Amino acid sequence: MKADAVFEGGGVKGIAFIGALAEMEAAGYEWEKLAGSSAGSIVAALLAAGYSSGEMKEIFTRMNYLRLLKTKGWERLPLVGPAAGLLLRKGLYPGSELEAMVADLLRRKKVRTFGDLPPEKLRVIASDITAGKMLILPDDLASFGIDPHAFPIARAVRMSCTIPYFFQPFLLKHSNMVHYIVDGGLLSNFPVWLFDVPGIPRWPTIGFRLHDQAQENEFTRITGLLSFSKALITTMLEAHDRLYVKKAHAVRTIFIQTLGVKATHFSLPEKVRTDLYQSGQRAARKFLERWDFERYIEVYRKPSTKATFLR
């Protein structure tokens, strides 16, 4: 069955998506349009390039997340380097390693730019904090005078994954204005509405969302600038999990328990990765037990229904 897919952000917890994808693929689902925010954009990009869930399991199981925190030159100096990066470039780490890693993975499938994919195949969400608005890439690149088809997908993913303070913002210059681009999760961590069309859809949009009840009642003691910054980043990355999801969106969403894992836990042990993968599998199986596309259309998409959609 054809379906569109939208992936929420979640940092290193993204391997949980792969477990869910494996179950969905086993059930016969084939992905048409794909979208992702933050870490979800990595999964969406690899799927769009032609990676299977099995191939991605190997990638995410062996991935050295600490590589993404690699610095160069004076930024390598202990304590001084990261602090200077934060003060001078508004982020601890450059983010170039993430772009290089994604570019290498895409290159193996002979994909580099959005133009290498079928039209409208992939959408990546980022946040323009200069203009105070969400960016849908590649569509919104034209407003910066950039050819959307020629733009590297890995760069768009980097922009979407640029956690404020943690990674240095990506800069886009246009009309003598510098636009600071950061993590898509800042403004829209779960854009499951992105592929909605008026009337009755030909196939469903399935949302993949990370959730952890264990973190709902956690508190952070603020004692200084460091703890304040840490709490700010954690809130941005995790608070979306606690937001109410409209019922019309919830019924088409796979909710995956993330077992207390933090989005920035870059030294993720192999066992934890396996646990997250299996959690994704369980969530997808549970979803498939109740999912009924025809019933969804009858209740939420027929013109006579009183239900409304976020547009």
Is the separation of the CB atoms in 126 and 174 below 8 Å?
A: no
Cα angle vertex 136, ends 135, 139, to 5°?
115
Closest CA to 5 of 246, 251, 194: 194
Helix residue spans in the chain (DSSP H)? 15-26, 39-49, 53-62, 80-89, 96-107, 153-160, 225-238, 247-250, 270-290, 293-296
- Say which of 4, 37, 38, 188 is annotated catalytic: 38
Is residue 38 part of the annotated active site? The answer reads yes
Q: Where are the beta strands (DSSP E) in 102-174?
A: 122-128, 133-137, 165-167, 170-174
Three-class secondary structure of residue 250 per DSSP: helix
For the question of residue 183 being annotated catalytic, the response is: yes
Whole-Å CA distances, 17 to 10, 11, 64, 227: 10, 11, 18, 30
Residue 246 and residue 223: Cα distance in Å, rounded? 36
Whole-angstrom CA distances from 160 to 26, 43, 112, 167, 308 are: 29, 12, 17, 11, 29
Among the options 37, 41, 53, 183, which is catalytic?
183
Which residues are catalytic, by number?
A: 38, 183
